[in-house]
Amino acid sequence: MTSPTCLIIDSMHESLFPMLTAIGWEAVSLPTITRDEIKTKHHGFDGLIVRSKTTIDRDLLGENPTIKFVARAGAGIDNLDVEYLHEKGIQILHASEGNRDAVGEYTVGALLSLMRNIPHADHQVREGIWEREGNRGEELMGKTVGIIGYGNMGNAFARRLAGFACNVLAYDKYKSGFSDAYCKEAGMEELFVETDILSLHIPLTNETRKLITLDYLKRFNKKIIVVNTARGEIVSLADMAQAVQQGQVRGAVLDVLENEKLKTFTVEQQQAFNILREKTNVIFTPHIAGWTFESHVKINVALTDKIKALELTR
């Protein structure tokens, strides 16, 4: 019996290949393959391993794919046409377990950096400015942290808040009964009243696209800090700029942005970005929350474990 085969269409950490061999899979890696080339080369493969550069849909795989699973080397699956894949009986695997620790640590680190004015203070000292009082920060202890989405990422963040004596409230529309040692399950109305710091850990779907608007942010009773390590399109950049200017949002950590690449900004988004990048109470990073040397390997471990657990018929 021949070994099952998978096609890898993105650059992957080298640790993946011996892991696949160890579970009896053969891999063909074509990281520079184009979309048109994938259309002709995927036939005959049992699995497809992807990151985010390619949308996996009917146009790509056609009506009679041999692919039995698509494995996404990461957490989000917004580049996968879930309805089509389900229709064709193609299983969807993702590796959110692989970078949840990285996201949890980043979220705490970035939040502390913002609250203690570390990026701004660092810049000043490099310019010869020694300003202590102007960089007086605030403590995380005692704050109410509202988490939207209590999956792998939300839970990882809550766990890392355990030593800070915060009040952690979590809302998840699709879960119930998940209160644990790290958070209290709450409804959105409670988050609107109590939240000091809002952290987003939800996937990008039609339901969550532009969920965070100016009107939404105005529903919070307090002037809040917003942290987004999920997907940029969840937060309207233009509305975030208005909320920061008006003081409804008193600080923000944005690891992800609408469209992500500056050259694809709309005029409105570019104007909003120009406003926000002048603010010392806003931190930007280039989608690195889950991006560590360790997570690179952990993602591959999670994927191969899930591939190994599949029962495939050839």
Catalytically active residues, by annotation: 231, 260, 287
- Taken in order 156, 185, 254, 249, the sign of the CA dihedral is negative
**List of long-range contacts for 172-181, beta carbons under 8 Å, 24+ apart:** 172/148, 175/150, 178/150, 180/155
* 250: nearest Cα among 152, 115, 126, 154: 115
- Tokens coding 7: 């096609």
Q: How far apart are the first and last CA of the chain?
A: 10
- Taken in order 30, 33, 38, 41, the sign of the CA dihedral is negative
CA contacts within 13 A on the Cβ side of 282: 23
Angle at 192 between CA 188 and CA 198, to 5 degrees: 90
